[in-house]
């Protein structure tokens, strides 16, 4: 989770969707030190919240992973419809498999939320409060990143997102 979180913050900062400082690499080891610092700080704060917070955080993480899979699947479908490229990566099973993955991901989101609700005795579960807090944190990050986003137009952002970084292997993106 730590490495995934730092990589996501780095990528969002690099593409100017969050404050650009998160997308900078250190000069020495070429590590995203600011993204690492943010995730480390949040992890340390989490340690002080105690064991009672661990299960809801894990449950929310699994819900958010299912949401992420859903977004990616629908993004693939949209991208293939809007900008088909001959010779692009082919999905075994084609578009049908991507649709099945999208529907199954939606099912996982619903199942996760339903299970949390049932475990809370049909009341508002703590996981939902964490989801709302995550949504609020995302909205705050999006708002704070407004100046950074305005620094790049869409063409520049696409170039930054798809540009290979030093040390990346060809075809690894």
| pLDDT tens-digit readout, 63-75 | 999 999 999 999 8
Mean per-residue pLDDT for 140-162?
78
Between CA 26 and CA 53 the distance in angstroms is 33
- Considering 5-14, 54-63, 100-109, 140-149, the range whose residues carry the highest mean pLDDT is 100-109
Between CA 120 and CA 79 the distance in angstroms is 39
3-state SS, residue 172: coil
168, pLDDT greater than 50: no
Return all residues near 14 (Cβ < 8 A) that are at least 6 apart: 20, 22, 23, 160, 161
Structure tokens at 89: 């990566």
Task: Give the CA radius of gyration of the chain.
Answer: 19
**CA torsion through residues 158, 173, 169, 87, sign:** negative
Structure tokens at 79: 């991208």
Return all residues near 80 (Cβ < 8 A) that are at least 6 apart: 95, 98
Q: What is the pTM of this model?
A: 0.69
């Amino acid at each position: 989770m730590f490495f995934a979180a730092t990589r996501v913050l780095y990528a969002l900062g690099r593409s100017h969707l969050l404050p650009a400082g998160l997308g900078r690499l250190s000069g020495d080891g070429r590590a995203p030190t600011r993204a690492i610092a943010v995730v480390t700080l949040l992890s340390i704060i989490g340690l002080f919240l105690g064991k009672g917070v661990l299960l809801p955080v894990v449950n929310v993480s699994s819900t958010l992973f299912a949401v992420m899979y859903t977004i990616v699947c629908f993004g693939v479908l949209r991208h293939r419809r809007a900008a088909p490229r001959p010779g692009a990566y082919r999905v075994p099973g084609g578009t049908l498999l991507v649709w099945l993955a999208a529907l199954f991901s939606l099912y996982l989101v619903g199942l996760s939320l339903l299970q949390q609700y049932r475990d809370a005795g049909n009341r508002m579960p703590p996981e939902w409060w964490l989801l709302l807090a995550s949504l609020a944190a995302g909205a705050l990050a999006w708002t704070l990143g407004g100046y950074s986003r305005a620094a790049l137009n869409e063409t520049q952002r696409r170039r930054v997102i798809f540009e290979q970084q030093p040390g990346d292997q060809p075809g690894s993106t």
